[in-house]
Structure 1
């Protein structure tokens, strides 16, 4: 579930797909929803997203290209840090004044669909204003809910294991597709013994990794209606996480908290950590070592449970300009020049045309592209687990309670009970 690589890692990386704050506040959008248009036939649509200044600069360049192609459509922009974005969006949606088009994520689709906020873009596909052809690896279905098109992917990512390559080499460990959790934990012990650091930054709050583990075992974090696992399942997961800290193969959460916002891997107190593949660039900018992407460990040596996640563009049901909004989305996901400007800022481009248009020259982005290609070639990708209304609250709770557990503020039993209590309230179950 793709969230922003600029967003503070403990929320975005660990809760994922909801993932803490990024810097940057952009120009404020117009106060009213959907401008009625000028006398010359020009209309204005409002576009909002979360991110930092560098994303805003890239997006503004793409908007200039769009307005050049569609001179009768003007775009007013609004961007915020991640948490501020959703606070503002909630206020706008509650007041009947959401932006015409906005950046969205899988954890929010059912929530805002239930609030009657999202426009079904299927009619615009039928009208020829938006094409859903040419998407990579099944991403054209990513934003569908009950047969309705509520979001269009702009990029893809998948969970991966980011490693300090020299630390793995010194330990004599070479991760390969299909390695098991037993292989992985044996590797962490070797890294601990050879380098004097923990093998992994810890797994208390990595919700999307836990989802993959559940999927490997025939379950999932979410079903369409609620949680897809039991209190006993979560107790087992968090008990193993605690034991890993005690054994020194996972970093002490107190040390993780002390070095934030720097990652444990870049700070050289962990040999690797699980995160979204397109976040890899942050490690190179933070650390001094060489970093790479390794496969997800498996239960049976075959099934990883992985899927491609994505940020997406959604439209407001209250927009007065559905055609123009559809044309805008179509341009942003298909126009090759947009990919050349955006790069992998929001993940690997979702359409083949944009994927082919941007060929990274730096080693980090090359490795991201190669990693996703390897997932397709290995045939491990599956459909994404449905996210029910209230999923975003469950994600936040998993992160927060997992951190409290790691810091010794709760026992495993207390943490499990608290998570299920909050989740049942959020999901209405």
Structure 2
């Protein structure tokens, strides 16, 4: 399992179960906010540690936790992991039953929800005291883990939006490679020309992709969210949908059925990998996973437009349960996993580019994976121009993402005009975040 699985799409059922669990967990979390650690009579501490991922991630995570125990023999772990599917159902059930893990993995689909319901421990005081060292973290990663002024989760991997392109096919057809800084209109014109010369669609249509829409909005001076409200109008959505209708009409993109494949498939089957488009709109740190699935050489750049509107997004976090009896120990574990050089060698980039920039440099210097080196270099270059991170998405974000796909596909298949599809999405999004 690669770190690219941070792009998973939670189901509607998982979202609802998370909401229910969050409401049930509120009094439990509030009632369990003790002070110092409470070790057993023999001085032993066992922490439950819960994460999602595949067997490869499990092996790496267990090795890292075993290293902590080797250096702190009084601390052991109850390790539990499972695949993406059903993970948040399980976390919701555990939280509702007052049996939440001491430390658990979470992403930005649910961080705000759990934080606003007081399930997560505020890590800010530990950060301020130096017990949780974030001095080597990009500032944006800390901002993107903060909810209502509280540090709800510690980032364990950075990524940013990336436009991955097929360098082999483009060079073979003598088509100039795309470059950071092209406007959206210039990118579409480039894609139309590339499609003519390569006989492959120039670009996947990203009108259903929330992260592309979000970057575009920021470049218009808007946001996806303004606190717990939408940060855009339905007219903004209409303009976005019209932009890509023009691209489809101009044959810069694939047909609707192929676009649908790109909307629905996992990272290993993105159109840039299957040869059905010359570019795909992904997270930059997914590039190595894409590269593993094609013989062609790939490249990655920023999304079109002003690259300073991109931000360092946390691929995932670890949070501490507010009701744990071992707060100090749990935070020390997070500090160890994020900042210990030996752990850095073990975990590598499984959860994303290491948040600690010194550890990231060590990984870049030691890895033999050329696409990983390139990704670290690209994200590092983009980071020089990053602007402020947006706030963590509010509850309902997962539904907003899925509703964008539904509405965009109505337009992509021609079943609705851009205006009608925009109205559909805007109404559904307002309902999702106001529940």
> TM-score of the superposition, structure 2-length normalised?
0.85
Pairing 1:266–2:270 present: no
Q: How does 1:26-105 map to 2 (within 5 A)?
A: 38-105=40-107
1:346 CA drift (Å): 1.3
Question: What per-residue deviation string (whole Å, max 9, x for no partner) do you get for residues 156-214 of structure 1?
Answer: 11101000002332252233332222221121012110111111121132101111101
Say which of 381, 390, 398 aligns to 1:392: 398
Say which of 223, 243, 246 aligns to 2:246: 243
Instruction: Look up the SS of the partner of 1:106 in the other structure.
Output: coil
Is this contact kept in 2: 1:223–1:387, CA < 8 A?
A: no
Is this contact kept in 1: 2:3–2:349, CA < 8 A?
A: no
1:344 CA drift (Å): 1.5
Q: Distance in 1 between matches of 2:48 and 2:205?
A: 41
Q: Distance in 2 between matches of 1:339 and 1:414?
A: 49
Partner of 1:122: 124
Q: Distance in 2 between matches of 1:7 and 1:108?
A: 13
Partner of 2:153: 151
Partner of 1:347: 352
Say which of 378, 389, 393 aligns to 1:371: 378
Q: CA-atom RMSD, angstroms? A: 2.6
1:247 CA drift (Å): 2.5
Q: Distance in 2 between matches of 1:98 and 1:402?
A: 37
Task: Specify which structure has the higher proportion of helix.
Answer: 2
Instruction: Work out the number of aligned pairs and report it.
Output: 403
Change (3 A) 1:270 1:380: same
Instruction: Look up the SS of the partner of 2:241 in the other structure.
Output: helix
List gaps (5 residues or longer) in structure 2. Answer: 16-31
Q: How does 1:326-365 map to 2 (within 5 A)?
A: 326-359=331-364, 360-365=367-372
Q: Distance in 2 between matches of 1:95 and 1:127?
A: 32
Partner of 1:307: 311
Partner of 1:136: 138
Partner of 1:183: 186
Q: Distance in 2 between matches of 1:8 and 1:146?
A: 25
Partner of 1:220: 223
Say which of 214, 232, 236 aligns to 2:235: 232
Instruction: Look up the SS of the partner of 1:349 in the other structure.
Output: coil
List gaps (5 residues or longer) in structure 1. Answer: 13-17, 19-32
Q: Distance in 2 between matches of 1:337 and 1:203?
A: 39
